[in-house]
Amino acid sequence: MPSTNSAVKDIYCSKCDARYEINKVLNLCKCGGPLLLDYDYEAAAERMTKAVLAAREFTMWRYLEVLPVLDCDNVVNLGEGGTSLLPSTGIGPQLGLASLYFKDETTNPTGSFKARGLAMAVSRAKELGLDRLIIPTAGNAGSAVAAYAARAGLRCKVIAPKDVPEPFTVDCVYHGAEVELVEGSIKDCGTRAAQLVEDEGWFSVATLKEPYRIEGKKTMGYELAEQFDFQLPDVIIYPTGGGTGLVGMWKAFDEMEKLGWIDGFRPRMVSVQAEGCAPIPRAFEQGIEHAAEWQNPSTVAAGLKVPSAVGDFLMLRAIRESNGTAVAVSDDELMIWTKHLAAREGIFSSPEGGASVACLKKLVEFGFVKSTDKVVVFITGSGYKYLDVLK
């Protein structure tokens, strides 16, 4: 069996001092904290030099030494990652910004950046001999886990809210997943999934409730560094739900410093949410460590309708340590900018990407973003599955 040469060491808790062996099947730490992966960065740096890296295929699997899969045969790959970093042609000049870029995640398999995290989680599930995966989802995560589970030959169950746009469940069914629709928000789906874990023994791959999705999402940080020739941008704007992308990139920057690839400079990390469900901006303003649950969440940006997140404190920590901020935008604003993205940049985005750009406009007005700042806005998903919302 060909080894990936992964330099993974063990698993540690983000809250307490607990450490776990890499081959243990784990969800959360026994203290309830999300689990993260640790690596031997010296060994990784020796094997994965910048020159070695440059010769590899541009997908997220080019960073194998700092990814947790041990055996190449367990890598479940549909070509995820390696997405374009597009310089803005219309919106940047309009807002007076000299260096605005879009990280275009719409081109990932299954139409969103959820592919990165779930490719990793499914690969590790296969490696650990798990064969039944369950996920609570607002849409994109379900599509992604269903596709990767199909490719790996694993069973899969997707729990989504009743009002999930139909295209998200059509592809799940085509991939052979069982789909169950639940009254309420993703929070209620999480409760139902937890019950099925208890009653029927499924393995949950809910956001940050297993250690591997974040390892897939962190590759966005590695890619950005490479695409900017290891000079990180000044500001990163990211539409946040469960927060794996934000927390994952923040982890990636620390890792790259340990690898000797970058210095201590860090982008200011900005979390965007919708006014109808904004627990992170509210907690950020209140200066508190954990975000209280948002009551009666409502927004067309389904991926942002996450009323409470197990990794809230990790998001808030990254935002604060980076001197970033957290902003809520209205559904009207995010829909307008979703249109502008299509009309002025040629990017057909889901509403979450529109939220990022709506946020950018506000930050320019506030003076948080300066005209000379190098800014990256994440366009996290494609508009094609949201036609009902967009038309």
Ligand X SMILES: *Cc1c(COP(=O)(O)O)cnc(C)c1O
Q: Which of 140, 273, 299, 338 binds ligand X (CB under 6 A)?
A: 140
Residue 112 in the binding site for ligand X (CB under 6 A) = yes
In the bound state with ligand X, the residue whose beta carbon lies nearer, of 41 and 113, is: 113
Structure tokens at 13: 């808790």
Start-end of H helices in 23-90: 41-47, 50-54
Q: Which of 123, 240, 299, 322 binds ligand X (CB under 6 A)?
A: 240
CA dist 217 and 85 (Å) reads 16
Residue 242 in the binding site for ligand X (CB under 6 A) = yes
CA dist 259 and 254 (Å) reads 9
**Which of the stretches 120-128, 155-163, 197-205, 238-246 binds ligand X when contact is defined by CB under 6 A?**
238-246
Map residues 193-232 to x or -, x wherever contact with ligand X holds by CB under 6 A: --------------x-------------------------
Smallest gap from residue 365 Cβ to ligand X (A): 23
Smallest gap from residue 214 Cβ to ligand X (A): 9
Torsion of CA 63, 64, 67, 72, to 10 degrees: 150
In the bound state with ligand X, the residue whose beta carbon lies nearer, of 6 and 219, is: 219
Residue 62 phi, psi dihedral angles, 5° rounding: -70, -15
**Of the candidates 305, 308, 250, which has an alpha carbon nearest to the alpha carbon of residue 273?**
305
- Contact by Cβ (8 Å): 357, 301: no
- Contact by Cβ (8 Å): 251, 322: no
> Which residues are CB-neighbours of 251 under 8 A, at least 6 positions away?
36, 214, 218, 221
Residue 45 pairs with which residues in a beta bridge? none
Residue 169 in the binding site for ligand X (CB under 6 A) = no
Smallest gap from residue 308 Cβ to ligand X (A): 13
Residue 83 in the binding site for ligand X (CB under 6 A) = no
Residue with tokens 């829909």, as numbered in its chain? 335
Smallest gap from residue 280 Cβ to ligand X (A): 9
Helix (H) or strand (E) segment spanning residue 76: none
Smallest gap from residue 277 Cβ to ligand X (A): 11
In the bound state with ligand X, the residue whose beta carbon lies nearer, of 233 and 248, is: 248
- Contact by Cβ (8 Å): 223, 188: no
Residue 3 pairs with which residues in a beta bridge? 71
Q: Which of 81, 241, 267, 279 binds ligand X (CB under 6 A)?
A: 241
In the bound state with ligand X, the residue whose beta carbon lies nearer, of 92 and 216, is: 216
Residues between 114 and 133 that touch ligand X (CB under 6 A): 114
CA dist 7 and 15 (Å) reads 23
3-state SS, residue 129: coil
In the bound state with ligand X, the residue whose beta carbon lies nearer, of 114 and 251, is: 114
> Which residues are CB-neighbours of 341 under 8 A, at least 6 positions away?
91, 102, 347, 348, 349, 353, 354, 357, 379
> Which residues are CB-neighbours of 345 under 8 A, at least 6 positions away?
86, 88, 89, 90, 91, 102
- Contact by Cβ (8 Å): 198, 180: no
Map residues 273-312 to x or -, x wherever contact with ligand X holds by CB under 6 A: ------------------------------x---------
**Which of the stretches 69-77, 123-131, 236-244, 250-258 binds ligand X when contact is defined by CB under 6 A?**
236-244
Structure tokens at 249: 């990139």
Residue 143 in the binding site for ligand X (CB under 6 A) = no
Smallest gap from residue 355 Cβ to ligand X (A): 8
Distance of CA 375 to the CA centre of its chain: 18
**Which of the stretches 80-88, 147-155, 240-248, 322-330 binds ligand X when contact is defined by CB under 6 A?**
240-248
* Residues contacting ligand X: total by CB under 6 A: 16
Q: Which of 34, 92, 381, 383 binds ligand X (CB under 6 A)?
A: 381
Q: Which of 204, 299, 338, 350 binds ligand X (CB under 6 A)?
A: 350
Smallest gap from residue 292 Cβ to ligand X (A): 18
Q: Which of 14, 88, 322, 380 binds ligand X (CB under 6 A)?
A: 380
Binding site for ligand X (CB under 6 A): 112, 114, 140, 207, 239-245, 303, 350, 352, 380-381
